[in-house]
Structure 1
């Protein structure tokens, strides 16, 4: 695919290229990976300033997102990438592959630096989700700090680096600039910018910023920081649509393909059948999202891939409110089991709590997200856990956040199981063809492709 960056993406790419230390505070869905990879390509093959790059990211982002972005864009086709996740032998093979870009999950940073035996070979580091290094006592922070003097260029990517307060910034920028801007010691940072807040005698449990501390801190880091929300020269899209493709895993894929091929699936001693194309569409949509109802109304787990991806997106929001659209009752049950703090928006009190910023994670069914429901005050991020064929419900649900009075750029994520009916639904929504005929035709096309009905 041809890469045509938005104005803000071009600005961010140029910023990385011209700043050996760069903190990019980008909202979810604004293309952090493609920005970083484009800058890496330019620095490596146009300016010859970089030889090898290490990317540190959350596990599933490292395993799935970064290689997918590299393969997606034409201009990155010649960039070699090795993924150092999984068993130790596989990690070692990737680390020794001599790739332009090596991607490793953050959980293995300490292993890489202190136990792998692999000589450090990367002159540029990109930290995807810089905020995951906000704890100065964590092993991953201490380990990466040891290797920091060997790095000539470093980039930190995150959405909100100070979701839990300004104290979070110290460790992140200590890692980026080795203490140049906020000091080398957390005790000095606290003494300069904070006063004790909650305490018991001499034991301090929390700190509160001194008057003017916030402005001073931001001023000190401004020369190496770019934010998509605060830089006046950036032209942000009014709404950004982002699709997160998710592998269902071997077990989930086998079950999905069995249902697709035979129109029947045996689950825990009971058979689930699809009588026609419309019924098959519903079964496949359920399976793409991770669970399936049997004939008695009981649901069976197929995979947790979408829950894992949802967890990554919520973590990436760093405390920023997230609204999740679900479809099936088993979606709701599984989401609430994984995220007990989530709250279903049903009553006026629920809506008021969301709009007051009291709910970090809210759930909504598209059928209840009709005309006139105002949710724009509570957040600007919507995640579709299960997609809908209904264009009206899709547009109306999106319009709960993307409407007059919204103060933030809106980001709408679609969780789509790879090589599944989810892609058919997205295509139908894109061309605004969501009639029952389109639904059945899409399923028929999939069935024909797989050899069903021969």
Structure 2
């Protein structure tokens, strides 16, 4: 059993919520929400406990309970045999005879497909990254809001991303039975604006009565903590590295079409029938496909950026974290860096191998946003390279949390963030939108 030694801010969070059986720890990334949430679950002392988290975090949660709470019985509910054991212990009441706490761990996308979870009663529900239920119309949110826990623990470093309207579904779980209409009426400022086709749409322009909202949230067990308020972490430095936009990108943006030579990365005219080079046809017939191809032309199909990545990697022998989006990007980067003979680790939807990260000071760890941006401790490294940026729903949260993978408790060195950006493209606009706490929209993209 590993010893638990809580930091002052963690003890404060637990003390301030001692009287609550429903609470939210909105602690900034890197402040140890896992330790606070698990300890609160232990103190609540319900025999049945359920942790819902991202798929990439299941193993981390299982291991955490095994390391620090060996008297508990922890089960990975994505595994059929362990799910059956969990249900059997609950249904037959055997766990009460054994005088133990059982902890089931499952991911969001699997949970709402397990109807039997709705039958659980008298249990503690913990949501890791509770910001993932901010859309109350999503299947996972609807399912979780139907559950009947006795106690609730919410964990998130970015519960709202500065948007208070996103809190409504979470406060329902905390027992604040305010309707969505009343919540918006009390705290959200909106106005109706023309959308260009004769119709109006409601847009959020700001917030009101925020001090009252904060007091109300505190009365329902919400704890907000920012890193700067409780810890002195090392300085963070960001650096943009620019590359020229290619003629292929410009042609595609103008015409929404490109006959592209993926081998030479240089032609966009119709291919000669006798030429056996691997041409592909890019057709941006809607905003989604056009955005996708535009990003790829700035990523895995951008020679200068891949060269720049190699130069940057060669400039240091320190551990490096590289964030990326697409599998093709990973393949292009690995090919470009192969002869450097640097050990590497990979974290993505199909693989999580951190051997090189753990053992080699000069390792490179490639992390796909969806699999590792919102969870994981990588403070052995102090440098992150953003080969491409996240885009789409949840991109702001993903980007903010990705930065905290190295800037957290245990980091003693200054942290550096390198953005590889193709100038005058969607990438520049995307980073600007992320820094403003926004997600790049179709309208912004059209002006690229």
Bin the TM-score by the shorter chain: 0.5 to 0.7
Partner of 1:450: none
| 8 Å Cα contact 1:110-1:144 kept in structure 2 | yes
Q: 1:202 to 1:303 in 2, by over 3 A?
A: closer
* Preserved contact between residue 108 and residue 140 of structure 2 (Cα < 8 Å): yes
* TM-superposition CA deviations, 1:15-67 (whole Å, max 9, x none): 444201201111122221222222222332xxxxx221111111111x22211
The answer as to 2:207 corresponding to 1:214 is no
Conserved 8 A contact 1:30-1:240: no
Indicate the SS of the match to 1:218.
Answer: helix
Matched, 1:106 2:108: yes
What SS does the aligned partner of 2:119 have? coil
**How many Å separate the matches in 1 of 2:397 and 2:109?**
29
Secondary structure in 1 matching 2:152: strand
Query: What is the alpha-carbon root mean square deviation over aligned residues?
Result: 4.6
C-alpha displacement of 1:399: 12
Does the CA contact (< 8 Å) of 2:134 and 2:167 recur in 1?
A: yes
User: 1:284-338: per-residue Cα shift (whole Å, max 9, x none)?
Assistant: 9999x98474449999997643555754564469xxxxx9724xxxxx5xx5357
Asked whether the 8 Å contact 2:27–2:225 carries over to 1, the reply is yes
Measured at CA, do residues 235 and 325 of structure 1 come closer, stay the same or move farther in structure 2, by a change above 3 Å? closer
In the alignment, is the contact (CA less than 8 A) between 2:73 and 2:102 conserved in 1? Answer: yes
Could you report, residue by residue, the CA deviation over 1:47-101 in whole angstroms, capped at 9, with x for unpaired residues?
xxx221111111111x22211212333xx12111111125x56644554455611
Normalization by structure 2: what TM-score? 0.53
Query: In structure 1, how many angstroms separate the alpha carbons of the residues matched to 2:217 and 2:321?
Result: 47
Indicate if the aligned counterparts of 2:121 and 2:149 stay in contact, CA closer than 8 A. no
CA distance in 1, matches of 2:390, 2:112: 28
1:37 has 2:34 as partner:
no
Matches within 5 A, 1:163-242: 163-179=161-177, 183=178, 185-200=179-194, 203-210=200-207, 212-223=208-219, 224-229=221-226, 236-239=230-233
Q: 1:186 to 1:93 in 2, by over 3 A?
A: same
Please say if residues 324 and 383 of structure 1, whose CA atoms lie closer than 8 Å, have aligned partners that are also in contact. Answer: no
Separation in 1, partners of 2:65, 2:26:
21
| Runs of at least 5 residues in structure 2 that lack an aligned partner in the other structure | 91-100, 236-316, 325-329, 353-364, 419-448
Provide closer, same or farther for how the CA distance between residues 3 and 235 of structure 1 changes in structure 2, counting only shifts above 3 A.
Answer: farther
> 2-side partners of 1:122 and 1:158: how far apart?
24
Match of 2:71 in 1: 78
**Using the alignment, how far apart are the partners of 1:194 and 1:235 within structure 2?**
26
Structure 1 contact 325–382 (Cα < 8 Å) conserved:
no
Structure 1 distance, partners of 2:229, 2:185, is: 38
Question: Residues of 2 paired with 1:117 and 1:72: CA distance?
Answer: 26
Residue 120 (structure 1) shift = 1.4
> Where do residues 18-37 of structure 1 align in structure 2 (5 Å cutoff)?
18-37=19-38
Residues 364-383 of structure 1 aligned to structure 2 (within 5 Å) = 381-383=403-405
CA distance in structure 2 between the partners assigned to 1:380 and 1:301 by the alignment: 17
Q: How does 1:54-453 map to 2 (within 5 A)?
A: 54-61=50-57, 63-73=58-68, 76-85=69-78, 91-96=83-88, 98=90, 100-112=102-114, 114=115, 116=116, 119-147=119-147, 150-179=148-177, 183=178, 185-200=179-194, 203-210=200-207, 212-223=208-219, 224-229=221-226, 236-239=230-233, 291=334, 293-295=337-339, 304=348, 305=352, 307-308=366-367, 311=370, 314-315=373-374, 325-326=383-384, 335-337=386-388, 339=390, 361=399, 381-384=403-406, 395-397=413-415
Q: Distance in 2 between matches of 1:117 and 1:382?
A: 32
For the residue of structure 2 that corresponds to 1:103, the secondary structure is: strand
Deviation at 1:128, TM superposition (A): 0.8
CA distance in 2, matches of 1:5, 1:52: 24
CA contact (8 A) 1:125 1:154 kept: yes
Shift of 1:173: 0.8
Q: Distance in 2 between matches of 1:205 and 1:299?
A: 51
SS of the equivalent of 1:239 reads: coil
296 and 93 in structure 1: CA distance in 2 versus 1, 3 angstrom threshold: same
**Alignment: residue pair count:** 288
**8 A Cα contact 1:197 1:205, kept in partner:** yes
